[in-house]
Amino acid sequence: MRLQRPAAVIFDWDNTLVDTWPVIHDSMNTTLEHMGFPLWSIDETKERVRRSLREAFPDLFGDRWEKARDIFYERFRKIHLERLEVLDGAENLLQSLHDKDIYLGVVSNKSGENLRREADHLGWCGYFGRIVGAMDAKNDKPAIEPVIMALQGSEIEPGSDVWFVGDTKIDMECAYNSGCLPILMRNLPPKPQEFGEFMPELHFSSCDMLTTLAPKL
């Protein structure tokens, strides 16, 4: 498949550009413990944390989900900046695409407030036209609304010339829902049937691998 220069690249955030699993795992187990639930292993956290909090917590905690939300965010805000780790090659990738004058955005299911705080902490806000998190749009990822919001002001419409880069099925589903090109970026290649009808078009094992493509765009 010969790739054409994208009009825009939209990135997922957690575990696509930064490693936040330890923070999410700590915050989730703090919440589970306070709510009287069994704790999760790190593998269970990685498997179960996909949807935005406003969608996932009512299913998990029922009518006590708002209390659980407050516990989660209190713990998360205490630790997320000090434990934030950039994935290898992430900033070089952003710089390479930015130098090519390719519009960049973020669509994440992390709360918009915390998401933008992390981007500001890393000094990355200048790379992105818009940084969109949970609760910013009417519906969260995998809905199309966050993608539309991420492209606002760019005069770019969602479509096959917009790359959606992420590490999970929900990212690929969001790409399909918005008509963008679904690109999986993670160490492990997609497993058979893992993504169902939302198979990625391309797989890159790392930020560095995708960066090698940037000069050719």
pLDDT in tens, 152-205: 999 999 999 999 999 999 999 999 999 999 999 999 999 888 999 999 999 999
Summarised one tens digit per residue, pLDDT across range 74-133 is 998 899 899 999 999 999 999 999 999 999 999 999 999 999 999 999 999 999 999 999
Give per-residue pLDDT as tens, 23-77: 999 999 999 999 999 999 999 998 888 778 888 999 999 999 999 999 999 998 8
CATH T-level assignment (fold) for domain 21-79? DNA polymerase; domain 1 (1.10.150)
CA-based angle 144:146:150, to the nearest 5? 120
Q: Using DSSP, how many helices (H) and how many strands (E) does the chain show? A: 9, 8
Give the integer Cα–Cα distance in Å for 104 and 93: 11
What does the block give as tokens for 161? 């010339």
- So what's the pLDDT on residue 131? 98
* Cis ω for the linkage preceding 200 (within 30 of 0): no
pLDDT for 8 equals: 98
Coil, helix or strand for 158? coil
**What pLDDT was estimated at residue 122?**
96
Q: What are the residue ranges spanned by the domains of the chain?
A: 8-19+87-216, 21-79
**Res. 3: pLDDT tops 80:** no
CATH superfamily for domain 8-19+87-216: HAD superfamily/HAD-like (3.40.50.1000)
Element holding 204 (H helix, E strand): strand 202-204
Residue type, 97: L
Q: Can you give the pLDDT at residue 216?
A: 83
pLDDT exceeds 60 at position 1: no
Phi/psi for 50 (5° steps) reads -135, -50
Cα–Cα distances (Å) from 156 to 115, 135, 152, in that order, read: 23, 22, 8
pLDDT score at 2: 60
| C-alpha–C-alpha distance, residues 185 and 189, integer Å | 9
Fold match between domain 8-19+87-216 and domain 21-79:
no
HSE-CB of 46 using CA atoms within 13 angstroms = 10
